[in-house]
Amino acid sequence: MKKNNPAQPEHPTLSRFLAGLGRARGTAKAVLKMVRADPRLRFFPPRAPASLCEWADQEARRISDPDAKRARHDMKFRRNFLARVCRREAKAMTYDAASISGICQRADARHERRTELFECARLRSVVVNAEVAPKPLEKCMAGNPLSVTVALARKLGATVICRGKDASLTSTRWASNTVHKAGKTIWRNGKAVGYVRAENATYVRSFALIVSPETAEYIIHTTAGAVTLPPGYHWERDPSGLLDGLSAVITASPGDDYHPSGEDMLGVNAAREIVVKLLANRDRRRVLRAERVVEAARAQGVFVCAADSTRSGNCRIGTTSFAARHGLELARHYSAPDILSMADVQADRVRLVVTAAILRHEREMQAGVCLMSAHRFDE
């Protein structure tokens, strides 16, 4: 004997919705049927709460997933059904991280990917008859952001709003966008007591991707290109640099690097200009390191002799040629600042020579005696 279905409980706002439609009676199922037939009823009457529309959507989804309902009771079908859901989730989370176009496509389709993950979580909830949290969409870390200026962004066609000091420009992997937050007046007792300034945030797509040790591709707004470094140099990701950015490095000297900006990458001879700036930075670092050692030698009253040069690892012929080129006598002692002023591009070697002189001076001070054999240079 067929049992009668129990009476469906009335929605708490059903009476208000029916009153807005001019009806005195009606069931929730009848209202759902009307809403499906005419979607405009979801927004009528104007003051009807949105909870009824949400309930209608939930009821529509509940009966529109026959496979998910079947998987709840059929173990064999459940295994196949969940495998299909896993494939959908894997497809939503997979992207090509080895190309600029793949990263851009992932960023542009982020909303669709998140929607797909939420839909997969909903299907799992129907199968297990319990709430299942959606899988999080991992943050895209591929690529290295490039810093851009307002002038460069506008030159490439990006819209940048700068109204006073309340403006910001951020490099991102997402499509270029401008966000404006309007200002507002703060009222109290009918009087204006303050004002919150408007804010303008501009996001410009600007990042680079290392495709090989010597080649890096980039995209700034809609302009794409690639820069290939000459032999002896390579690209690498520098976590300690600006914005976790791109770094050009001398292969033989890993400590010497340069972080290019978007303007550097767009140069006519970008690779050559980047190498020139990289070498200039290297020379400045060498001089600074040498000056620091020289200042320590000056503070201790240390003088440098030719024997300190060979003691630091320089060969005798190189030491002799350096002295002849600058008019130095091998038997004399010279102050560290005087030697540094002659060093030019050999600042690192001078630093080692001065360091050897400081160590020799400290040994003499501790022993309380100066041995002339330690100062003699035999050609």
Residue 193's pLDDT band (cuts 50, 70, 90) = confident
| Strand 223-228 relative to strand 303-304, pairing | unpaired
Residue 119's pLDDT band (cuts 50, 70, 90) = confident
Extents of the domains making up the chain: 14-56, 66-128, 150-183+195-267, 281-374
Phi, psi of 273 (to 5 degrees): -65, -40
Taking the CB of residue 172, how many other CB atoms lie within 10 A of it? 15
Which residue's entry shows tokens 């997969």? 120
- Output the pLDDT for position 40: 58
DSSP labels for 223-240?
Answer: EEEEEEPPTTEEEEE-TT
> 202-235: per-residue pLDDT in tens?
888 888 888 888 888 888 888 888 888 888 888 8
- Output the pLDDT for position 159: 83
> 248-297: per-residue pLDDT in tens?
788 777 777 888 888 888 888 888 998 888 888 887 777 767 777 777 77
Task: Give mean pLDDT, residues 3-9.
Answer: 45
Report residue 218 as tokens. 């980039």
Contact in structure between 135 and 89 (CB atoms under 8 Å): yes
- Output the pLDDT for position 164: 60
- Output the pLDDT for position 242: 45
DSSP-derived 3-state class of residue 205: strand
- SS3 letters for 298-319? HHHCCEECHHHHHHCCCCHHHH
